[in-house]
Amino acid sequence: MRAAAAGVAFIVRRIWRVSPLRVLSSVTVTLLLAFVPALQVYALAQLVERLDGDAGFADVAPPLLLVVAVIGLGGPVRSVATTLRTEAEHGVAAALTGDVMHRAAHTSPSDLARPETTAELQKQQEIATEASRSLFGGLVSGAEGVISTAAIVVAVATFSRLAGLLTVLALIPALVAGRLLARVWSRYWDAAGPPFGRVRYLGNLLVRQRSAVELATLGAGPSVADDAAQRWDEIRALRVALSRRELRSDWLVGAVTTVFVLGALAALLTDTGYSPVAVAGITGITAGAAAVGMAGVHLGRLLSTGPQAAQLRDFLASATPAADTGRAAPTQIDHLRVSGLTHTYPGRDSPAVTGVSVEARRGEVIALVGANGAGKTTALRGLLGLLEVDRGTVTLDGVAPTDVGTSAWLQRFGTLVQEFERYEFSIRRNLLLGAEGRTVADEELWSALELAGLAAFVRGLPDGLDAMLGEQWGGTALSGGQWQRLSLARVAVRNAPVWVLDEATAAVDAESEEAILGRLVADRARRITILVSHRAWTLRDVDRIYVLDDGVVLEQGRFEDLLARGGHFARLFRHQLGEHGLEGS
């Protein structure tokens, strides 16, 4: 009960902040409607009393006109109330969805890397849209039902107090059923969260231009659609099971309520001596039964969905900003040191990396190489503070991630991951994504594009830096290599003292790759650069190469030294070295 009340209070406060005028208008009109049934009972009683055989039209006109007005105007007024309430519900649904998005945006990268975090975000997004729409409407309609019931009970009690009491008691079964259904709704959201997330992902694949075209080319679109339909079937099955529980509950509540209504009718007829005025009382009891049913259903929904809204409130309040020191991130790092890094993923028996140690100084370019699954990505994630490592330390000029907090730590890095995202914004906004809150001159943007080998292309666009990207928004289409160059330029605009480039030029042609790497090496004096590459010839000018296999650093040294040893590095790249005529050089 307490959780339901907390959830309802949260939705009411949030909807009031979004649309106070609509809320006030909706509540006012709805509460006025709550007195209509009681007013109808009163008018009907007056009309019956005056129909004594001697009355003329003037005698019965006032109550008759009141009955007509209540019946005739009730529908239009209720439509106004419903419209106002629906507008307010849509407003709070949009606001809460935005709150969930901002909660996701302020979640630390290390938390977002956990599958349970993204599953919870997807679950709360669904709750934000469904619970918010039902709770406010349920509260207003439930309040209308309660007030309407109270007013009718007062009117019926003028004929029979026992009948009024039994009418009130008819509300209890629905409240009890709603309380019991709260647990069922909680289990539903826990079970429906993952399928909802999967459906959203599959739907995005089918409608996003890049993935949709690829799936159509592969002829795989129908199978993905079938997968999405299967997930919807899972959600439907869960919802059907829930609906059947609610249906059984409604039938049981209806049966018990019917007993109370029959008792109220019997008490009314007995107490009125079966006189004509009992007609008004019977009308009141039947209206009261309807009001009780409406109040019971909506209050039951509040009890069942309110706890989910309370969960949403707690989820939104649980954002824990990184405990940053408040100090600005340094613009220069002289020494990076990784010592004895060991990490085991949940569910794995053996570590993904064991005792990895890496070192670099400002002006150096180092590389991590190894076959797929060697531990390169895990080592990088540990370096960036995106993993809770089992053992080992990572420091920049003697400062560890825990000394400054996640946000300040990540400000020290400019990162280009292999699976980079293609942001279909303008070129300018793309470049500035890594420099939020900092004023960046156009000259700096052009310099970054020059480094990435994309400046000439952008200058050729009619809108230059303000050109929109992405054909689905009417913008310019880019090749995979151009998207990767843009991502590299974004790293340059960020201008962090440590660059982490995971296959930064994998989608670029060989000639362009050589030119880009040449510019990176020439400009390396201001930063520490960490490369991950599967192309042997790109490692020739690297100061130090760390060779990983099975999560362990097997070798380290310069390109020529590692080749001369004839060890794991030479074996790993033997085929490529022969192709490029580098073997034995």
- Concatenated DSSP letters for 406-471? HHHHHTTEEEE-TT-----SBHHHHHHGGGTTS---HHHHHHHHHHTT-HHHHHTSTTGGG-BB-G
Q: What is the pLDDT of residue 53?
A: 64
Summarize pLDDT for 548-566 with one digit per residue, the tens.
999 999 999 999 999 889 8
Cα–Cα distance, 334 to 364 (Å, whole number): 10
Q: How many residues does the chain have?
A: 585
For 335-580, which CATH superfamily applies?
Answer: P-loop containing nucleotide triphosphate hydrolases (3.40.50.300)
Residue 533, pLDDT > 70, answer: yes
Q: Which whole number is the average pLDDT over 146-161?
A: 82
Please, where in the chain does CATH 3.40.50.300 lie? 335-580
Instruction: Kindly report the average pLDDT of the chain as a whole number.
Output: 82
Residues of the chain with CATH 1.20.1560.10: 1-315
Q: Tell me the pLDDT band of 182, cut-offs 50, 70 and 90.
A: low
Q: Which of 105-109, 354-358, 414-418 has the lowest mean pLDDT?
A: 105-109
Least confident among 197-206, 308-317, 474-483: 197-206
Determine the pLDDT at residue 585: 46
Q: Is the pLDDT of residue 42 over 80?
A: no
Cα 488 to its chain centre, rounded Å, is 28
The pLDDT assigned to 372 comes to: 86
Per-residue pLDDT, 427: 93
Task: Please say if the pLDDT value at position 328 is more than 70.
Answer: no
Residue 325: per-residue pLDDT: 46
Compute, in degrees rounded to 10, the torsion defined by CA atoms 529, 530, 532, 538.
40
Q: Which residue has the higher pLDDT, 426 or 61?
A: 426
Assessment of whether the complete model's pTM goes beyond 0.75: no
Which of 407-411, 465-469, 524-528 shows the highest mean pLDDT?
A: 465-469
Q: Given a cut of 60, is residue 322 above it in pLDDT?
A: no
pLDDT in the model for residue 323: 47
Question: Could you read off the pLDDT of 405-437 as tens digits, one per residue?
Answer: 887 888 899 988 877 788 888 999 999 987 877
Q: Which of residues 235 and 172 earns the better pLDDT score?
A: 235
Q: Residue 356 in 3-state DSSP?
A: strand
Which of 542, 561, 519, 558 lies closest to 364 in space, CA to CA? 542
Q: Is the pLDDT of residue 320 over 60?
A: no
Q: Two tokens at 227?
A: 């997968």
pLDDT, position 477? 87
How high is the pLDDT of residue 577?
Answer: 64
Q: How far apart are CA 365 and CA 520, in angstroms?
A: 9
Buried b (16+ CB within 10 A) or exposed e, 544-558: bbbbbbebebebbbe
Domain 1-315 sits in CATH at: 1.20.1560.10
